[in-house]
Amino acid sequence: SAGLSSLSSLDTLTFKKIGALNNIRKLSANDSYLYILTYDGLYKIALDADNFKDAATTSPTLVTPPQSITGLTTEDSFLDFIISGSIGILATTDGLFKTTLASGVSTEILSSENNSLGPVMHLSFSATTKGNNYSDGNLCALAANISTNLATVIRFDVANNTATPITESKDS
């Protein structure tokens, strides 16, 4: 809550190893958890000081692997992740998915005009309000397929824990 002003002296800060995760793609956090995205899973660990001490033995908990999402297989992987309020949006090698962070179980595909995004390489979120856990705003998703040398940017309106496609710009 104090932000960077609490980092008056970096001399006392150290890095801590948490669990044994590899191929980390992204770190995201809300008020309760640190979410760790790897190619093969989304993990979380409670933001509790005891979990980050030298003697901590707590490891991150697997929220969801790709194959637990309907439509994805063991061949698919996660590429990017953002938190928007109580939902997480996952960019994968086979589309864009929404997951409820509380359960980590309920997921659904977010579709574009043609419902065929393919690999979604990057997510960018602009919130309508600053600070805290933003939930409403604009999400831009870059779907790019290097085998066809084509890309699509889809802009979604994110409000009330839903994401609705607004515009789609295709590379031709």
Cα 110-62-90 angle, rounded to 5 deg: 20
Helix (H, G, I), strand (E, B) or coil at 5: helix
C-alpha Rg value of the chain to the nearest Å:
17
Residues 6 or more apart from 26 whose CB is under 8 A from it? Answer: 36, 37, 80, 81
Pull the structure tokens for residue 38.
């790897």
Instruction: Label residue 95 left, alpha or beta by phi (over 0 means left) and psi (-120 to 50 means alpha).
Output: left
Q: Are 120 and 110 in contact (CB under 8 A)?
A: no
Helix (H, G, I), strand (E, B) or coil at 97: strand
Q: Each residue of 47-83: pLDDT tens digit?
A: 888 887 776 677 899 888 888 888 788 888 999 999 8
Place of tokens 């061949």: 75
The pLDDT value recorded for residue 113 is 44
Q: Each residue of 81-117: pLDDT tens digit?
A: 998 888 888 998 888 888 888 776 556 666 544 456 7
For 159-170, what is the mean pLDDT?
70
